[in-house]
Amino acid sequence: MTESAEPIPPRRLLMGPGPVDADPRVLRAMAMPLLGQFDPAFTAAMTETMALYRGVFQTANRWTFLVDGTARAGIEAVLVSVLEPGDRMLVPIFGRFGHLLCEIGRRVGATVDAIETEWGGVFLPEAIEDAIRRVRPKLLACVHGDTSTTMAQPLAEIGAICRRHDVLLYVDATATLGGVDLPVDAWSIDACTAGLQKCLSGPPGSAPLTLNDRLADRIARRRHIEQGLRDPDAPAGDGPVIASNYFDLAMLMEYWSDKRLNHHTEATTMLYAARECARIALAEGLDRRFARHRRTSEALVAGLAAMGLRVFGDAAHKMANVTGVHIPAGVDGEAVRHDLLTQFGIEIGTSFGPLHGKIWRIGTMGYTSTRECVAMCLVALDAVLRRRGYGAPPNAGLDAALAVYAGA
């Protein structure tokens, strides 16, 4: 076989539900040479990454580190490490990713109860508290922003409710971390996980995670050291063994501690990426970053409305980084997505389950949460729709979006 030309991805503007365009500084960081996992320069990079994610998660939690896998690896690591077979878990489902939490919970042997609301809505705190009273779960697992519906569940009061009922609170912030406010400590969240490929503008493949001591202590009690590493005379660990080696947070904590007890080989390049994502977010400042996401969302919504398009779901609880748009009657939604991709290189998202064929989803997050990206997306969508027979007043979308940025 002779060596063929290096594969180059086609030019794209990624404005779907994620991954979105990586920040070029993150791409640059991933081209850096590797280091050995116990090289002092690399263990220093691990320690630095922990500190940076404490900033991003707004927490003082010692146990703030990465799981080597995509966002759902972080979810599974928390659930398999916290839940023992037969433990009760309660999940408020308001979209696809609530179902995923249930699915993973059942796989690890938990007894799962759920409350559900229609896609496009969220829960009142009282509804969650009522369900807690009824179910008496060990763990409440809740998605923050569910990209499948574009809704963000208000969480400010949920931590206090959980403490009142002695329930642990886990939040899946895959789609919101770094773009929507989520103060882990102030909101009394016991565990939170995320991914890089949404508001942090990195590639999928690393899952930042934070655990408070109340939860970490419970997990540490289930610690079992691998044979082949363990002193033969040392105890093997207490409590039911965690049913995964890869996702065993008790072992992962030892690996990320000063002990550096060998577990997996940390994914060097993904750590460089995760570190750079956090550096960029903190250099901008979280408050400025959240405000940028809100402003971009307002501009996009104003533009879509001016084009006569209807935004999906409960406007008061829409995520600032994903916007659902009803596909207008008579328009073939997939044909429009195809035109945007092939004529402009712009990707917007389709949808799942009950919303399939009914809405598009437009992502404005991290590096794509900007005036320029909104402007490009609106004029391209306007042009494609016009060619497909849906005519909005020319330039109306762009004018409305720019007016938001102009403060008009």
Q: Is 183 one of the binding residues for a copy of itself (CB under 8 A)?
A: no
CB-count burial class (<10 Å; 0-12, 13-18, 19+) for 315: exposed
Q: Is 239 in the site for a copy of itself (CB under 8 A)?
A: no
Tell me the C-alpha distance between 364 and 17, whole Å.
8
Based on the shown chain and the rule CB under 8 A, indicate whether residue 120 belongs to the binding site for a copy of itself: no
Position 292, amino acid: R
CB 69 within 8 A of CB 205: yes
Q: Which of residues 293-312 bind a copy of itself (CB under 8 A)?
A: none
- The residue among 245 and 257 lying less far from a copy of itself, judged by its C-beta, is 245
Round to whole Å and give the CA distance between 288 and 303. Answer: 22
- Whichever of 28 and 386 has its CB closer to a copy of itself, that residue is 28
Q: How far is the CB of 141 from a copy of itself (least distance, A)?
A: 13
Residue list 331-350, contact with a copy of itself (CB under 8 A): 341, 347
Sole binder of a copy of itself in the list 76, 84, 129, 254 (CB under 8 A) = 76
4 Cβ neighbours under 8 A, 6+ residues apart: none
Per-residue x/- track, 369-398, a copy of itself (CB under 8 A): ------------------------------
| Region 89-108 residues binding a copy of itself, contact defined as CB under 8 A | 95-100, 102-104, 106-108
Q: Which is nearer to a copy of itself, 283 or 406 (CB)?
A: 283
Measured CA angle at 374 (ends 372, 379), to 5 deg: 95
Q: How far is the CB of 400 from a copy of itself (least distance, A)?
A: 27
CB 182, CB 173: distance < 8 Å = yes
Q: Which of 203, 208, 313, 324 binds a copy of itself (CB under 8 A)?
A: 203
Residue 83 engages a copy of itself in binding (rule: CB under 8 A): no
Which residue from 109, 179, 117 is spatially nearest to 142, judged by alpha carbons? 117
Q: Is 116 in the site for a copy of itself (CB under 8 A)?
A: no
125 to 144: interface string for a copy of itself, x by CB under 8 A: --------------------
Taking CB under 8 A as the criterion, the residue among 156, 229, 291, 335 binding a copy of itself is 229
Phi, psi of 342 (to 5 degrees): -85, -30
User: Considering the rule CB under 8 A, would residue 233 count as an interface residue with a copy of itself?
Assistant: no
Q: What is the DSSP letter of 163?
A: H
Partners of 67 in the β-ladder: 207
Measured from the CB atom, the residue of 71 and 384 that comes closer to a copy of itself is 71
What is the edge-to-edge ordering of all strands in the sheet holding 139-143? 63-67, 207-211, 191-193, 168-172, 139-143, 88-93, 111-116
- What residues from 269 to 288 belong to the interface with a copy of itself (CB under 8 A)? 269-270, 272-273, 275-276, 279, 282-283, 285
405: contact with a copy of itself by CB under 8 A: no
Of these, 137, 205, 333, 397, which contacts a copy of itself (CB under 8 A)? 205
CA dist., res. 38 & res. 42, Å (int): 6
Of 354, 314, 370, nearest in space to 20 by CA: 370
Among 243, 305, 331, 379, binds a copy of itself (CB under 8 A): 243
